[in-house]
Amino acid sequence: MKVRVTHIISYNGKKALVNGIIIGIVTTIVYLAVVVITTPSLSPIAAINAAFKINSIIIFGLAAGIGTQVFISTYTKGLGCSLDKKKKGILGTGSGSTALSSFFSFFSLVPLGCCGSWLLILSMLPSIFGSTLSVVLIEYSKLLSYIGLAIVFGFTSLSALKLKRELNHRNNTKKFNQPNNQQNVEEH
């Protein structure tokens, strides 16, 4: 006789998944809205097409990374625990690296005529950072946005590992707290 095992996604898991998907979609919409708003010289469709041609990996990567972070966070809160017990600075969180990745990715759109408002920011960089650092920020904006995206996924991976450890700890605690007769039945 075959025993069929099915896994039912809990309400907490469903809620976390829906929240993650919604936030991922909102992230994409906000990114594209910034592109359209800061590109008055192009039609919205042309600006969005240019953004997808140049930064599609960044756009979808940020949506996936942020959506996954929200999923893990919501799922963890639904379990009644918190993975981030220490407060961190803006660069010590996934949100800080997300903002930096987005910021750098907009610079790579400027030569195409997108995000013309970012030219104002680019013109201020030498007075803020100095000319050498400004050239590096502009020249390597694409690479820097990929590094920021890697940091987003790094923090997401760390959160996933912490969640897995917490779930394993809870499972081990449940097994340890079961009466001996139930443990013997499970072993056979």
For residue 165, what are the domain limits? 11-82+89-176
Q: Is residue 4 situated within a structural domain? A: no
Q: In this predicted model, what pLDDT tens digit does every residue of 6-16 receive, in sequence order?
A: 455 688 889 99
Number of domains in the chain: 1
Q: Is residue 142 situated within a structural domain? A: yes
Quick one: pLDDT at residue 45?
Answer: 94
Q: In this predicted model, what pLDDT tens digit does every residue of 40-68 receive, in sequence order?
A: 888 999 989 988 998 899 899 989 999 99
Q: How far is CA 45 from CA 27, 145, 168, in A?
A: 18, 23, 48
Q: Is residue 68 situated within a structural domain? A: yes
Quick one: pLDDT at residue 71?
Answer: 92
More confident residue, 146 or 177: 146
Quick one: pLDDT at residue 17?
Answer: 92
Q: Is residue 186 situated within a structural domain? A: no
Quick one: pLDDT at residue 47?
Answer: 87
Residue pair 104/137 in contact by the 8 Å Cβ criterion:
yes
Q: Is residue 71 situated within a structural domain? A: yes
Print the SS3 string covering 27-91: HHHHHHHHHHHCCCCCCHHHHHHHHHHHHHHHHHHHHHHHHHHHHHHHHHHHHCCCCCCCCCCHH
Q: Is residue 5 situated within a structural domain? A: no
Q: Is residue 103 situated within a structural domain? A: yes
Quick one: pLDDT at residue 5?
Answer: 39
Q: Is residue 181 situated within a structural domain? A: no
- pTM here? 0.71
Q: In this predicted model, what pLDDT tens digit does every residue of 70-115 receive, in sequence order?
A: 999 888 888 877 665 554 444 444 556 666 676 777 666 666 656 6
